[in-house]
Chains A and B, each alone.
Chain A
């Protein structure tokens, strides 16, 4: 089973994201966006498309905007097909920003929500508690995770009607317990209606080892770090 880890100029979490999928038994292949644009149908030989964190094209204009524009016409239809066939799409941090701006997430219209400057207008690296809500294909309501965020544009914004609809239809996948960036309704992650496309600002691939946890020297080494659990559940959903 293969995962395609998409990279473009400025992607910088591709190695650890690939490693995370390898750790849970998948074959991870890092592919440059130029390869995918030249042959979008290659996506059908994968079970997972992951768009990792980083600063694709320098976040020029707005975070994720330029890569989303590139993917929209030829890659997005192939991505939808991957999901219809039971695959998964995962966007982490910059990948979430890209998914939102392609319209794949939450997927109601061309673009329904956006991710913009943190309320503090500062980049922030910090560990956050997350609670699962909604109907993600591989997360269970009530489950919690502890991951770091590291972003300047992670505040989720949409109009009230859209936010109501996302909540009603179970598309709010993750919420911050202690909102770090001013996201409306503390939203940290979203799915599409199928629950098979997940985007989130926090970085699960940065909590694959027990020593990644910021207080492991106080609380000891965990047998099952939250990131490992996250990726194990993801791979189970495509097996």
Chain B
């Protein structure tokens, strides 16, 4: 069969925005080009009439034409062999419809770059901006004809790994060699277990144990024993999460909590017919290497968590929170991508996955700190809705194990164990396989059939294939029963995979169902009707064992008891020493200080990000992320009404302030919970129905001080949950967020994200933060204190309650919660949203960041001890005691990304 090359360009008469965007990206990488033209290249194998195909499918008759020889240096970029290209399936489908079935399609891009620089410089700039070496190859000139696919190896023999007699050092070396991420105590346990069985472990068994025992899956640091010393006082903590976060939920014992801390996501009651659920994941490690793919798969992964919650929930909203290095970073350590590139890639990854899945992205935050340079943090969250009575699930012996969705490939191998390791400057070389390639349309197909199958009652349990792939999914579902798996049935992206790779691959867009035999045919037919691949890869049984076979070979034969309960817990050491922090002095130039705050990355407008997300798909949008006259003012929290015809709403907000983690992680946690709750209350959420989630992103917890900080933060979470009566329903931790360089390790700031999911009975009562009417008074609710560490005090819940009552009573026109930059920034943001001015007349510290406060626009005192601080004015000016700023200057600072990006 013959390859046919089709190359397409935009006709010279029309603008080429793809080329202009490429030119801008190259400029960021330091290359100035006069012009860049982009050529899309399709290599097609097996076409009967390539010219006809080009005309009917690839070339837009209005805008495009066959590509001509360009000017300047041609650089081509194409995917590495084995990296999946989601466009291939679509193109083959269209070619089939045209009566020209083709066997393979490989895509590439050629950039014609007109620049004075030499070829090597141009190539390097493309490598730094337009290509990603982890998944792509590039070269000068046209893209080469694709290679034939690798031939399948006839048989992969089962590999055993002798452990008998290995010393501690040898065990550790072995763990590292196979990227198992098991420590010496765990390796000893494995060695001794197999010694009792009088055999050596098979590679598949070691991989399964490593996945199941990984920090990512088991959270062993935070659930294991900790010897903790705080200011000289020592104690033994048995299970930190159980004694803090989880304990607070148990103590609160809310009857509207349906399922907490046991499923993929926490589930709470919504209305008479529906429950809602929420999960937030971290996906930092791959984002450091491949921002676009890492963030996309982070989004795809948390969406699958929701699909696999209970008997399957429908995603209704996404959130995302990012932490990056400073955007003006000049010097980059080796192996690090520039924060600007990381941010652009991460935003694009979240955008393309969420938008394509048809899930509105409604809430988020961005934090900058130089310590995130080598180790950015990406939190992706998804809210789902499911009918009541569908929260419980259980696979039964005799049920078939059905894998559904994307095919299995080599992508994403060792993600779970990789995310438990510290990054270093060669991580992008050794761990390239850990980057998964997302295909949101595949996942959308799965979503479409999954909800139909759920409503027809075709399965008894469901889970997603996340970290650890089939090994984790089947291992978890069969924990109470047992299972036998037949890997030869799993559909593969390409031949040649070792069965062990099939077992642990983290290829995306796959779900696993347990299907009673009587429903097998119906489920498979349903999937086939919408082009979703599904097949039986095994059966649940009552053996209490996990047996994995590939034809006649046995890859794994483990007891569920050892796999799930055999992990030895090593006590860890944690310390914390309290340091006093004096209050910051008042700024010498408050006007300058305000403008600096407004243009700071943590505060400035995120419109550049927000408008790239579809935040209105599903037609449930009530309060959007941006509010006000021109839709450019920052909102407090998002509200969506997920049920057509109902006025009941879900409110999403978040709290994060890593800078407080440097002062006191306990108060960081208290403040983050306060902020998340403040956010949702300030748009109208009922304070008695707020569920919260924790996400800890921390450095290497083998360091006692780092672990001590997490103990403090977890205790802060516990106390805050009890104080506000808001139960934690789900959480996740991500440890080892450090980047090793030649000069030493860079530890990220202790980063705790608290996400809040509130509810509002009647969405038409919601309020926004934009100032509404000149002449209306501004009131400050909550005490302002000048303190070194902003401290949540016992008055906080009363403030929330007073705020909620004033909103419910319809007494307020606008509310903005006070966060970074305190009263001055909050008042400015209200004015920007309202396209008006404010005049403040108060002796309150303008920049204090005391929590639990709201700035309220209302005709009358809204109650709760609120004090009059000023009024909304029509004149576009911000008047503060002692200084003033024009609205225009404030906007220029606040919208600084407009010119920068």
Hey, which bits of chain A sit against chain B, CB under 8 A? Answer: 7, 9-10, 12-13, 15-16, 19, 32, 34, 53-55, 57-58, 60-62, 65-66, 69-70, 72-73, 110-114, 116-127, 148, 150, 155, 157-159, 182, 203, 205-206, 208-209, 211-212, 214-215, 217-218, 221
The answer to whether B619 and A69 touch across the interface, beta carbons within 8 angstroms, is no
Stretch of B184-192, B318-326, B437-445 with 4 or more beta carbons under 8 angstroms from chain A? B437-445
The answer to whether A34 and B531 touch across the interface, beta carbons within 8 angstroms, is yes
- The CA of A211 and the CA of B649, in the complex, are separated in Å by 11
- A–B pairs, 13, beta carbons within 8 Å: A58-B87, A60-B87, A72-B97, A112-B62, A113-B62, A114-B60, A119-B17, A123-B614, A125-B611, A206-B616, A208-B619, A211-B622, A212-B619
If A9-B441, A111-B62 touch, does A214 touch B612 (CB 8 Å cutoff)? no
With a cutoff of 8 Å between Cβ atoms, the chain A residues found around residue B717 in the complex are none
Stretch of B122-130, B566-574, B765-773 with 4 or more beta carbons under 8 angstroms from chain A? B765-773
Stretch of B283-291, B349-357, B788-796, B823-831 with 4 or more beta carbons under 8 angstroms from chain A? B349-357
If A58-B87, A61-B87, A214-B624 touch, does A125 touch B615 (CB 8 Å cutoff)? yes
A20 to chain B, nearest CB (A): 8
The answer to whether A61 and B94 touch across the interface, beta carbons within 8 angstroms, is yes
The answer to whether B21 and A148 touch across the interface, beta carbons within 8 angstroms, is no
* Chain B 737-780 interface 0/1 with A at a Cβ cutoff of 8 Å (1 = within): 00000000000000000000000000110111010100000000
The answer to whether B767 and A69 touch across the interface, beta carbons within 8 angstroms, is no
* Chain B 44-74 interface 0/1 with A at a Cβ cutoff of 8 Å (1 = within): 0000000000001110111100000000000
With a cutoff of 8 Å between Cβ atoms, the chain B residues found around residue A72 in the complex are 97
With a cutoff of 8 Å between Cβ atoms, the chain B residues found around residue A215 in the complex are 628-629, 631
If A10-B356, A57-B441, A61-B87 touch, does A70 touch B18 (CB 8 Å cutoff)? no
- The CA of A203 and the CA of B360, in the complex, are separated in Å by 14
If A13-B358, A65-B57 touch, does A218 touch B772 (CB 8 Å cutoff)? yes
Instruction: Indicate which residue in B14, B86, B641, B644 contacts A19 across the interface (CB closer than 8 Å).
Output: B644
| B798 CB within 8 Å of chain A | no
If A60-B86, A69-B57, A121-B18 touch, does A9 touch B63 (CB 8 Å cutoff)? no
With a cutoff of 8 Å between Cβ atoms, the chain A residues found around residue B629 in the complex are 215, 218
If A34-B529, A58-B441 touch, does A69 touch B98 (CB 8 Å cutoff)? yes
| B613 CB within 8 Å of chain A | yes
In the complex, the chain B residue whose C-beta lies closest to that of A32 is B530
With a cutoff of 8 Å between Cβ atoms, the chain A residues found around residue B613 in the complex are 123, 125
- The CA of A13 and the CA of B618, in the complex, are separated in Å by 6
If A34-B530, A57-B90, A60-B87 touch, does A157 touch B62 (CB 8 Å cutoff)? yes
If A19-B644, A119-B17, A214-B631 touch, does A126 touch B772 (CB 8 Å cutoff)? no
The answer to whether B444 and A12 touch across the interface, beta carbons within 8 angstroms, is yes
**A-B contact number at CB 8 A:** 171
A135 to chain B, nearest CB (A): 23
The answer to whether B445 and A62 touch across the interface, beta carbons within 8 angstroms, is no
The answer to whether B63 and A157 touch across the interface, beta carbons within 8 angstroms, is yes
Instruction: Indicate which residue in B17, B91, B531, B618 contacts A117 across the interface (CB closer than 8 Å).
Output: B17
The answer to whether A73 and B621 touch across the interface, beta carbons within 8 angstroms, is no
With a cutoff of 8 Å between Cβ atoms, the chain A residues found around residue B356 in the complex are 10, 12, 54-55, 58
The answer to whether B61 and A110 touch across the interface, beta carbons within 8 angstroms, is yes
Most buried by A among B18, B530, B616: B616
* Chain B 539-558 interface 0/1 with A at a Cβ cutoff of 8 Å (1 = within): 00000000000000000000
If A15-B618, A69-B56, A116-B60 touch, does A211 touch B631 (CB 8 Å cutoff)? no
* Chain B 14-58 interface 0/1 with A at a Cβ cutoff of 8 Å (1 = within): 110110110000000000000000000000000000000000111
With a cutoff of 8 Å between Cβ atoms, the chain B residues found around residue A155 in the complex are 17
Smallest CB-CB A-B distances: 9 pairs: A12-B358, A16-B619, A60-B90, A121-B17, A57-B90, A60-B87, A121-B21, A114-B62, A58-B441
With a cutoff of 8 Å between Cβ atoms, the chain B residues found around residue A62 in the complex are 60
Instruction: Indicate which residue in A60, A70, A116, A205 contacts B619 across the interface (CB closer than 8 Å).
Output: A205
- The CA of A230 and the CA of B597, in the complex, are separated in Å by 44
With a cutoff of 8 Å between Cβ atoms, the chain A residues found around residue B63 in the complex are 114, 116, 157
- The CA of A127 and the CA of B631, in the complex, are separated in Å by 9
If A32-B530, A66-B91 touch, does A126 touch B98 (CB 8 Å cutoff)? no
With a cutoff of 8 Å between Cβ atoms, the chain A residues found around residue B768 in the complex are 217-218
- The CA of A34 and the CA of B532, in the complex, are separated in Å by 12
In the complex, the chain A residue whose C-beta lies closest to that of B351 is A123
With a cutoff of 8 Å between Cβ atoms, the chain A residues found around residue B57 in the complex are 61, 65-66, 69
| B617 CB within 8 Å of chain A | yes
The answer to whether A58 and B763 touch across the interface, beta carbons within 8 angstroms, is no
- The CA of A124 and the CA of B613, in the complex, are separated in Å by 7
| B93 CB within 8 Å of chain A | yes
In the complex, the chain A residue whose C-beta lies closest to that of B442 is A9
Hey, which bits of chain B sit against chain A, CB under 8 A? Answer: 14-15, 17-18, 20-21, 56-58, 60-63, 86-87, 90-91, 93-94, 97-98, 351, 355-358, 439-441, 444-445, 448, 529-531, 610-619, 621-624, 627-629, 631, 641, 644, 763-764, 766-768, 770, 772
With a cutoff of 8 Å between Cβ atoms, the chain A residues found around residue B93 in the complex are 57, 66, 70
With a cutoff of 8 Å between Cβ atoms, the chain A residues found around residue B766 in the complex are 211, 217
A230 to chain B, nearest CB (A): 13
The answer to whether A218 and B770 touch across the interface, beta carbons within 8 angstroms, is yes
A105 to chain B, nearest CB (A): 12
The answer to whether A117 and B631 touch across the interface, beta carbons within 8 angstroms, is no
Instruction: Indicate which residue in A60, A122, A211 contacts B641 across the interface (CB closer than 8 Å).
Output: A211
With a cutoff of 8 Å between Cβ atoms, the chain B residues found around residue A112 in the complex are 62
With a cutoff of 8 Å between Cβ atoms, the chain A residues found around residue B18 in the complex are 117, 121
The answer to whether A125 and B616 touch across the interface, beta carbons within 8 angstroms, is yes
With a cutoff of 8 Å between Cβ atoms, the chain B residues found around residue A53 in the complex are 617
Instruction: Indicate which residue in A9, A55, A113, A159 contacts B531 across the interface (CB closer than 8 Å).
Output: A9
The answer to whether B618 and A118 touch across the interface, beta carbons within 8 angstroms, is no
If A58-B356, A211-B641 touch, does A70 touch B441 (CB 8 Å cutoff)? no
The answer to whether A69 and B763 touch across the interface, beta carbons within 8 angstroms, is no
The answer to whether A123 and B87 touch across the interface, beta carbons within 8 angstroms, is no
In the complex, the chain B residue whose C-beta lies closest to that of A181 is B17
A126 to chain B, nearest CB (A): 6
In the complex, the chain B residue whose C-beta lies closest to that of A123 is B612
- The CA of A211 and the CA of B20, in the complex, are separated in Å by 38
- The CA of A62 and the CA of B765, in the complex, are separated in Å by 42
The answer to whether B94 and A66 touch across the interface, beta carbons within 8 angstroms, is yes
In the complex, the chain B residue whose C-beta lies closest to that of A124 is B611
In the complex, the chain A residue whose C-beta lies closest to that of B58 is A61
If A55-B355, A62-B60, A158-B62 touch, does A122 touch B612 (CB 8 Å cutoff)? yes
With a cutoff of 8 Å between Cβ atoms, the chain A residues found around residue B62 in the complex are 111-114, 157-159
With a cutoff of 8 Å between Cβ atoms, the chain B residues found around residue A206 in the complex are 616-617, 619, 621
The answer to whether A9 and B445 touch across the interface, beta carbons within 8 angstroms, is yes
B100 to chain A, nearest CB (A): 11
With a cutoff of 8 Å between Cβ atoms, the chain B residues found around residue A34 in the complex are 529-531
A180 to chain B, nearest CB (A): 10
Instruction: Indicate which residue in A9, A16, A148, A217 contacts B444 across the interface (CB closer than 8 Å).
Output: A9
With a cutoff of 8 Å between Cβ atoms, the chain A residues found around residue B439 in the complex are 58
The answer to whether B94 and A65 touch across the interface, beta carbons within 8 angstroms, is yes
Instruction: Indicate which residue in A66, A121, A122, A150 contacts B617 across the interface (CB closer than 8 Å).
Output: A150
With a cutoff of 8 Å between Cβ atoms, the chain B residues found around residue A157 in the complex are 14, 62-63
With a cutoff of 8 Å between Cβ atoms, the chain B residues found around residue A214 in the complex are 624, 627, 631
A117 to chain B, nearest CB (A): 4
Most buried by B among A60, A203, A215: A60
With a cutoff of 8 Å between Cβ atoms, the chain A residues found around residue B619 in the complex are 13, 16, 19, 205-206, 208-209, 212
The answer to whether B644 and A66 touch across the interface, beta carbons within 8 angstroms, is no
The answer to whether B627 and A12 touch across the interface, beta carbons within 8 angstroms, is no
B110 to chain A, nearest CB (A): 16
B617 to chain A, nearest CB (A): 6
In the complex, the chain A residue whose C-beta lies closest to that of B624 is A214
With a cutoff of 8 Å between Cβ atoms, the chain A residues found around residue B623 in the complex are 217
With a cutoff of 8 Å between Cβ atoms, the chain B residues found around residue A122 in the complex are 611-612
The answer to whether B86 and A58 touch across the interface, beta carbons within 8 angstroms, is yes
In the complex, the chain B residue whose C-beta lies closest to that of A212 is B621
With a cutoff of 8 Å between Cβ atoms, the chain A residues found around residue B616 in the complex are 125, 148, 150, 203, 206, 212
